[in-house]
Chain A
Amino acid sequence: MHKDSLLRRFWAEFAENRVAVAGLLVVLVVAAMALLAPLITPQNPYDIGKLVLGDARRPPGHVGSGGYVHWLGTDAQGRDLWSAILYGLRISVQIGVVAGAVALVIGSTLGVSAAFLGGRVEMLVMRFIDLQLSFPAILLALVLSALLGQGKTQLIIALVTAQYAYFARTAHGAAAAERSKEYVEAALSTPLPARTVMFRHILPNCLPPLIVVATVQVANSIALEATLSFLGLGLPVTEPSLGMLIANGFQYMLSGRYWISIYPGVALIVLIVAINLVGDQIRDQLNPRLKR
């Protein structure tokens, strides 16, 4: 009951910012399109047998040998770009969400535990986290994905390693503040097991900042994945994500075949901008300093 009204209030405030609502709408639509990609695309871009080389590098609006219009043109292998983009979004969203979620779980567990255990463990863990945070995430992800090789799992490991520290830092900050509050002291003085106190009392109070970090990090994961794939380090060629589509089109851009790179890029940016707009609004709403 109480929780429900809290959510409703949150939504009412959120709805006041029309830009953020539009962002949310875009995120939902893109997610739905990515999910339904096999149903709404004219072509399965991964089915090499279906690709016709004669259709390669055709401009937008070209009617290909498949008998349908390539609204966004075709790429160097004769893939319908619209189909390739939707399948690429599918991979990007999947990787962004999975990497974000795993990093969230690992990072916040680490952060909250460190704050809860205190003492030397806390100091060591947080020193390490700070050290890692002073190092740019992209380099870490770059080196890791180079060492681990191509593949979805490897990429997710690289992304999680590069990003869990943000969650750990945030969770630790919130939990340490919470830990020193009186209600936690009170809960600890009861016979409740410490674990219960940690998960029942402390964790829920760390959630708001973690949610904010999570939205930002999902967007970052998607951008990072695209960057790595663009550099040829992310996913294998059999699973072309948006970054790889853009990379493949890059060489043709200088000869004026802009669409191969541009449209996947536009899709990528629309998604990231939309997520960031939503994240911005959530952050403003959860920031007590901006409350009037």
Chain B
Amino acid sequence: MVGFLIQRLLQAAVVMVVISAMVFVGVFAIGNPIDVLISPDVTQQIRLDTIKAYGLDQPLWRQYLTFITRLVQGNFGRSFVFNMPVLDLILSRLPATLELTLAAVLGAALIGVPLGMFAGYRPDSIAAKLLMGLSVLGFSVPTFWIGLILILVFAVNLGWLPAGGRGATVSVLGVEWSFLTLEGLKHLLLPALTLSLFRLALMIRLARAGMREAILSDYVKFARAQGLSEAKVIWGHVLKNISIPIVTVFGLEFGATLAFAVVTETIFSWPGLGKLIIDSIQSLDRPVMVAYLMLVAFLFIMINFVVDIAYAALDPRLRAGRA
């Protein structure tokens, strides 16, 4: 098991280096940030000074070397626009995004898995068919559109919930959280719902497919033949079996949800990373873009790593194979 962990960690490190190079080239090779930094009518001298100050006159490979050296030291450079260290900027926005993403993914799993299991258990019931229809809708409707409708209904027409912002936050361990106050929860509800509908549809489908396969399996028939109640068959036998693909997708979707939070945060003015990256993209604030992409890549790799371990913990066959 230790060997497996070390091997996976090494792989992750290699992937990070490859991604850092790709991100760097992708972001630095295209577009000219200097045009955004200073107005076009400044003197050539100021222009050159600025270029020098940001190291933009160096050849690409040298810029990359500087970049990666700094990166290892935890120095992502300064934001062109905010004129503050990128790492501080990003870390100050991260909790809001993590809170939103976690709320969305957890909500989707906690609601979607039982619904999907029901739909798979009684595939011919009207409720199951309705659920499947809704899941097609959940897959098809773009996130931003869901957000708009929710705002229209709950904020504009009914006036029950706020249309944007984060509300009052409570500081725990130096980080601000919304979900600890009623007002914060109200602010969290709509964006989290928006972000979770796609994942909800996905969880419903996954759980349904797993359930359908499981209830036809011999081990379920055998469990029933032992006189186990249906509740024990499902929660004792089936749940653990279908949780293997669900946990995998849950992990991967956590990353994807982090990415989709970009859209949701824009709509609901949620002060998280997503809004920051959209603003940075529009102003070509390259250090922020690079740092954001690196952070997302890092989170992805970490998530994959954790999913692998969770997988091994859930599936004894794999654990044996890798030990």
Residues of A within 8 A of B (CB): 131, 134-136, 138-139, 142-144, 146-149, 219, 223, 226-227, 230-233, 243, 246, 250, 253-254, 256, 258, 261-262, 265, 268-269, 272-273, 275-277, 280
Contacts and interface: CB of A to CB of B under 8 A. Distances in A.
A292 to B, nearest CB: 12
Contacts of A253: 148, 151-152, 156
B282 interface: yes
A261 B163 contact: no
Interface stretch (B23-31, B41-49, B221-229): B23-31
Contacts of A142: 262, 277, 281
Interface in B99-147: 136-137, 139-145
A149 B282 CA distance: 10
A152 B217 CA distance: 50
11 contacts: A131-B19, A136-B258, A136-B260, A142-B281, A143-B26, A143-B27, A231-B144, A246-B145, A250-B267, A253-B152, A275-B140
Interface of chain A, helix or strand or loop or mixed? helix
B263 A231 contact: yes
Interface of chain B, helix or strand or loop or mixed? helix
B252 A227 contact: no
Contact of B18 (A131, A233, A256, A262): A131
List the 9 shortest-distance A-B pairs measured between CB atoms, nearest first. Answer: A136-B259, A146-B281, A147-B30, A272-B140, A273-B140, A136-B256, A139-B259, A223-B142, A265-B145
Contact of B262 (A138, A147, A250): A138
Interface in B268-323: 277-278, 281-282, 284, 289, 293, 296-297, 300, 304
A254 B156 contact: yes
B138 to A, nearest CB: 10
Contacts of A148: 30
A143 B289 contact: yes
A89 to B, nearest CB: 15
Contacts of A243: 144
B266 interface: yes
A22 to B, nearest CB: 12
Contacts, number: 109
Given A136-B260, A261-B148, A269-B140, A232 B282 contact: yes
A210 to B, nearest CB: 20
Interface string B139-168: 111111100110110011000000100000
B71 interface: no
Nearest to B289: A143
Contacts of A254: 151, 155-156, 163
A226 B147 CA distance: 14
Contacts of A136: 255-256, 258-260, 296
B15 interface: yes
A264 to B, nearest CB: 9
Contact of B293 (A139, A250, A268, A273): A139
A189 B267 CA distance: 60
Contacts of A265: 145, 148-149
A258 B145 CA distance: 12
B76 to A, nearest CB: 16
Contact of B282 (A146, A223, A227, A261): A146
B136 A273 contact: yes
Given A142-B262, A143-B289, A272-B141, A280 B136 contact: yes
Contacts of A280: 136
Nearest to A275: B140
Contacts of A250: 148, 267
Nearest to B257: A136
A262 B140 CA distance: 16
Most buried by B among A135, A138, A232, A261: A135
A33 B291 CA distance: 44
A251 to B, nearest CB: 11
Contacts of A230: 142, 144, 263
Contacts of A131: 15, 18-19
B149 to A, nearest CB: 8
A227 B15 contact: no
A272 B255 CA distance: 24
Given A226-B144, A265-B149, 16 more contacts: A131-B15, A134-B300, A138-B263, A143-B293, A223-B140, A226-B142, A227-B142, A230-B144, A231-B144, A250-B267, A256-B156, A258-B156, A269-B137, A272-B140, A272-B141, A276-B136
Contacts of B258: 136
B263 A227 contact: yes
Given A136-B255, A226-B142, A254-B156, A143 B281 contact: yes
A147 B145 contact: no
A134 B304 contact: yes
A131 B21 CA distance: 14
Given A131-B18, A136-B260, A142-B262, A258 B152 contact: yes
